[in-house]
Amino acid sequence: MSILRVQQTSIQQFTYDLPDEFIAKYPVEPRDSSKLLIYNAGEIVDRHYTDLPEALPEGAFLVMNNTKVVEARLLFTKSTGGKIEVFCLEPSEQYAEIQTAMLQQDAVLWKCLVGGAKKWKEATLDLPFESEGKQFTLTASIAERRGDHYLIAFSWNKPNTAFAEVLHLTGVIPLPPYLNRESEAADEERYQTIYAAHDGSVAAPTAGLHFTDRVFDGLAQKNIAHDFVTLHVGAGTFAPVKSDTLGEHPMHAEFIDVSKRFLNHWLERFNEPLIPVGTTSLRTLESVYWIGVKCLHFPDLTIDQLSLSQWEAYELPQDITVESALKALIEFLDQKDLERLLTKTQLLIGPGYSIRTAKGILTNFHQPQSTLLLLIHAFVGDEWKRIYTHALANKYRFLSFGDGSLLWKTT
C-alpha cells in the first residue's frame, strides 16, 4: 500500500449532506431494535440488529471493545460564581497506561481541555461532592499550560478512593458535540455498552450500543464466538479533518490493551471470519497486527518501542501474514513475561490501506469528512457513497445513537 496515495487523499472526496434531522439525538429502545444495513458484494439489504445472528455465518468471530466511558466533564464554580469546565482527556505521560492513572488515590495528573481558562484566576478550584452521607472535595490546579491542552493536578480528600470513583461522583458523561444537548441521567446507561468493563474512554464505542442479551443468545446458538479488546476512545475521534489532504492531518493517539489470552484465542479461530464491532475494535486489531510485524522486523524491539505512529504501518514490510505477526507478538510477550499488550496507537486507516485482519465490520454511520468515514472506504471503496445514499433515502438514523451497518470487505 502506498503511503503517498493515502497522504495525498483529498478530504473533499468524503463529504455528503447530513441534515440535522437524520442525527439521532437519543437512542431507540430496546437497543437491538436499531436498523441494520447489510452490504455484501454490491447488494444492500435492510434488517434490524435482532437479525444479526441470521446475517452472520456460523462460526464467525466477533471482536468487541470493552472500554467504559468515564464522567470526564467536571464543572467547577469559581468563588465569584462563574463556571469553569474541565474536560479530562487522558492521563499525564508519567503513567504507563490509563488503568494505572484511574486507580490513583489522593492525587493524579491529567491532560485536560479547559472551558473558560482565561477566567481561571484562582490558584485552585474546588468541586464538593457527597459519598456515603459525608461531604468531600475535589480540588484542581493548573500544573502546566501546553499548546492545545492543560496539565491539571487533581487531589481529593476522600481516603482510599480511586480517581475513577471520584469522576463517577463528580463528573458528567461527555456526549458527542454534534448531539447539541446536555447529558441526561439516562445517558449514564445508554451511552455505554452492556459489556463495558474498563474505565478510560471519553466517547463510547458506539457500534456496540446495539447489543443486548437477546442478541448474544442468538449468536451463541449459531456458534458465533465473541471476545474483547480494549481501546480507550479519545476526544480526537470527533475531530474533523480540517486539512486539505490526509498527509497534513495529525491523527490522534489512543491507548490499547490486549491480553495474550485474546491473541491465543484469535489464533485458535484464525480460519473463521473475523468481524470487529466498531472502528475502534478494527483499529485495535490492525494495530496489533502491525506491532507483531514490528516484533518480526526488529528483533531487539523494546517494550517502549511497541507503540504505533501515524504512518509507520505504511513503511513496514507488507508481506507478513497475520498468523506470523500474531505468533511473533505472543513470543515477544512471553520473552518479556507480559500477559498484556499495553501501548498506544496512532494508526490512520484511509484510501489505499489494505485491511489485514477482518472480513467485515459492524459500524454506525459516520460524520462527513471524518477519519472514521475514511476507514469505511478501506472496506468498501467508493461504494460508501451508495451505501450512505441508501441509508439516507431509507431514513436510517446517523452517528452515535443512530442505526448501524454490517459491511463485508469488497476485496
Model confidence over 91-147: pLDDT tens digits?
999 998 899 999 999 999 999 999 988 899 889 999 999 999 999 999 999 999 998
> What is the identity of the amino acid at 263?
L
Q: What CATH code would you report for 3-68+190-408?
A: 3.40.1780.10
Give the pLDDT of residue 1: 65
**CATH 3.40.1780.10 in the chain, residues?**
3-68+190-408
- pTM here? 0.95
Q: What percent of the chain has pLDDT over 70?
A: 100
pLDDT more than 90, % of the chain = 88
Q: Average pLDDT, stretch 289-299?
A: 97
Nearest to 363 by CA among 306, 305, 405, 304: 405
Sequence-separated contacts (24+) of 380-388 with Cβ below 8 Å = 380/39, 380/407, 380/409, 380/410, 381/410, 383/39, 383/42, 383/410, 385/16, 386/44, 387/37, 387/39, 387/44, 388/16
Q: Residue 269: pLDDT band by 50, 70, 90 thresholds? A: very high
Within 8 A by CB and 6+ apart from 357, the residues are 274, 276, 282, 285, 286, 288, 289, 322
Strand ranges of the sheet holding 107-115, from the earlier edge strand across to the other edge:
73-77, 83-91, 107-115, 150-156, 134-145, 125-131
Band the pLDDT of 80: cuts 50, 70, 90. confident
**Contact of 133 with 34, CB cutoff 8 Å:** no
Rg (CA), the chain: 21
* Range of 41-55, 111-125, 225-239 with top mean pLDDT: 41-55
For residues 106 and 138, give the distance between their C-alpha atoms in angstroms, rounded to a whole number: 10
